[in-house]
Amino acid sequence: MARGPVRTVRHLQRYREIVRVLVHYGFGELVETLELLPYLSLPRRLLRRGRPVAPPLGMPQRVRLALEELGPTFVKLGQVLSTRPDLLPPDYITELAKLQDAVPPVPWEPVRAQIEAELRAPLAELFATFDPTPIAAASLAQVYAATLPDGSVVVVKVQRPDILTTIESDLAILSDLARLLQARTPLGEIYDLPGIAEDFGATLRAELDFYREGHNADRFRTNLADESCLHIPQVYWDYTTHRVLTLERIYGIKIDDIQALDEAGQDRHGVALNAARMIVKEVLEDGLFHADPHPGNFVVMPHEVIGAMDFGLVGHLSHRTRSDLVRLYIVAVRLDEEGIVDQLIHMGVTTGAVDRAGLQHDVAGLLRKYYGMPLGAIRAQEVIDEIMPIAYRHHLHLPSDLWLLGKTLAMMEGIGLKLDPDLDLFAFSEPYVRRFAWQMASPRSWGAPLLKGIGDWATLAGLIPRVGAQLLNRAERGELEIAVSYRELDRTLTRLDRLANRLSISVLLAALIIGLALFIPAFNMAQQLGGATLWVVAGFVGASILGLWLVFSILRSGRK
C-alpha cells in the first residue's frame, strides 16, 4: 500500500492549499479516494465546500483552471501533459494546450541580488548598462536587456528568486500523489504514474538549469553552422551560471507578424522554406530539435534569416528512433495499415495486450480518409489530431520526445502556412527522407553495429575461460544445480506418448494390410478354400477394419 503524503512542516501547508484548490474545482471525490484529509488534519466537511465554477464548466476546463491556480509547477505539468495524447483524451489535450505561462514580474531588488550572488560581483562592475524593467516575464524566469563592458548588446535571463525551493516542494508532493493514484485508482493498472512523475521532474529540473540551456544553444549553433539562413545567438559563458544565462541579443520581426514582414519587404515564401529547412535538418540529420517553437521564440532578420531563441526545452532523437520514424513514414505513404501496425510493434510502443486487429482497423480508417489525396493537401496538425484518440484508445506508449516532435511539427507547419499558404512540408522533406533512407541501406551504416557486435562477442569469449572454470569447480564440489521448469510438462509428454503410439500402430497396420493383400493372389480361392486361405482373408479383413477404426479415431480427435 502506498504511503501517505510527506508530513513535514515544509510541505504540510502546500498540501492543504492543493486540497482546497482541488475541492473548489469539484475534485472532492478524488481527494476522498486518495484519503488525503486524515493526513492533513482537514475536516471532512471541506469536501462539501466545493462549489461549481460559474458559468458551469466541463471537466477539462476545470482541470486547466485548477492547474493555473496551483502555480508554476502545475502549469508546467499541464503543458507537458498537453503533448501526451497517450495519457489523456483529446479534449483534455486541447484544453491544456491553452495553459499560459505569463505571470506578473518579480520586483527588481531580489532579482538584482540573485544576479550579483550568482556572478559574484556588483552589477555595476559586471555590465555597462542594465535595464531593471524586464522585457519578458514567465513563471520560471525573467529576461532583461543589458550591455557588456566591451559594448556587446545582450539579454540576461534570470531565474526567479526562491522558485527552485517551490518547484522541489511541489515535485515531492506530485511524487507522493502519483504513488497514491497508482495504488488506489484504475489508472495504476494502465500507466506507470510514479515513472511519469519522475520523468516530469527530470524535465522541469533540466529546464531550470540555465547552464544546460546555454550548452543547448551552442549545440544548435554548431549543428546549423552551415545554414546561412539561420542564426543562433552566442552564449557569454563568463556571465552564465545555473541560474543566470547571458546571450547575444538578436533583433528582428516576429515570425508571424505578416504585416510587418510585408512592410519590410521580406520574402515570406523564403522565410517559410528556411523554417522548414531548420526543422527537417534538426529532426533527420541532427537528432536535436527545438521543442518550443511558438512564434515568440523566432524572429526574422534581414535577408529572410531566422533567429531562434529559448533553448530550455529541446527534444532528442537517437539514430535508431529516426530510422524507425523514416520506416513509419514510408509505410504510411504507401497506405499500408498492416505495415504501420508492424512498425509500431517493432518500435515497442504497444503493450503486450494490444488489440492488434482493433488497432489495424483504426489505422485503416485513418488511412482511408487520406486515400488518393496529394501529400501537399495533408496537414500535420490534422493527422496528429486524428492519431491522438487512436493512441489513447490503444494505450500507445510513444516516448515523450516523439510527442514533443509531433507538437513541434504541427506548430512549425502552422507558422509556415501563415507565411505561405501553399507550403508543402511533405514535399519539402521528401529529399531529406530519401537521403536518410539511402543512408540506412548503405553498407557504411552497418559498420558501427557490426563492430559493436564483434566487441560483444570478444568480451564474451574473454569471459568463457573464467566462468567455465568456476562452473567446473562447482560441479566437482557437487554445488552445481540445474533446474528446468516447463509448465504442463506431464500433459505434454502424455500427448507425445499417445502420438508416438498411434504412429507406430498406423505403420504396423499399414504393413499388415499390404502384406496380406500380396498373399491373397497366391491362393486359388475358386478351387480350394483351405484353412490357410481363410486365415489370410480373415487377417486382411481384420486389419482393414482396424485401419478404418484408426482413421475414424484420428478424425474424431481432430474435430475435438
Question: Which of 387, 380, 391 lies closest to 366, judged by CA?
Answer: 387
- Crossing angle of helices 380-393 and 356-369, rounded to 10°: 160
- CA–CA gap between residue 207 and residue 352 (Å, rounded): 34
**Cβ–Cβ under 8 Å, residues 279 and 380:** no
- CA–CA gap between residue 426 and residue 290 (Å, rounded): 19
- CA–CA gap between residue 215 and residue 359 (Å, rounded): 41
Q: Rounded to 5 degrees, what are φ and ψ at 551?
A: -60, -45
Q: Which of 292, 310, 324, 401 is catalytic?
A: 292
Whether the link from the prior residue into 431 is cis, omega within 30° of 0, is no
Instruction: List the grid coordinates of 27.
Output: 475534485
- CA–CA gap between residue 360 and residue 18 (Å, rounded): 42
**Cβ–Cβ under 8 Å, residues 208 and 167:** yes
**Cβ–Cβ under 8 Å, residues 242 and 211:** yes
Q: In what order do the strands lie in the sheet with 230-231?
A: 230-231, 305-308, 298-301, 253-254
**Cβ–Cβ under 8 Å, residues 232 and 224:** yes
Question: Which of 100, 101, 77, 97 lies closest to 381, judged by CA?
Answer: 97
**Cβ–Cβ under 8 Å, residues 82 and 99:** yes
Which helix (H) or strand (E) covers residue 230, if one does? strand 230-231
- CA–CA gap between residue 291 and residue 271 (Å, rounded): 19
User: Parallel, antiparallel, or unpaired for β 288-290 and 244-248?
Assistant: unpaired
**Cβ–Cβ under 8 Å, residues 409 and 279:** yes
Question: Which of 244, 220, 245 lies closest to 232, judged by CA?
Answer: 220
CA 507 from centroid of its chain's CA atoms: 59
Which helix (H) or strand (E) covers residue 537, if one does? helix 531-559
- CA–CA gap between residue 231 and residue 207 (Å, rounded): 22
Question: Which of 291, 344, 338 lies closest to 315, judged by CA?
Answer: 291
Cα end-to-end span (Å), the chain = 46
Residue 219 burial class via C-beta count within 10 angstroms: exposed 0-12, middle 13-18, buried 19 and up: middle
Give residue 207's identity as a one-letter amino acid code.
E
Which helix (H) or strand (E) covers residue 369, if one does? helix 356-369
- CA–CA gap between residue 452 and residue 74 (Å, rounded): 43
User: Parallel, antiparallel, or unpaired for β 230-231 and 305-308?
Assistant: parallel
Whether 424 is catalytic: no
Three-class secondary structure of residue 322 per DSSP: helix
Active site residues: 292
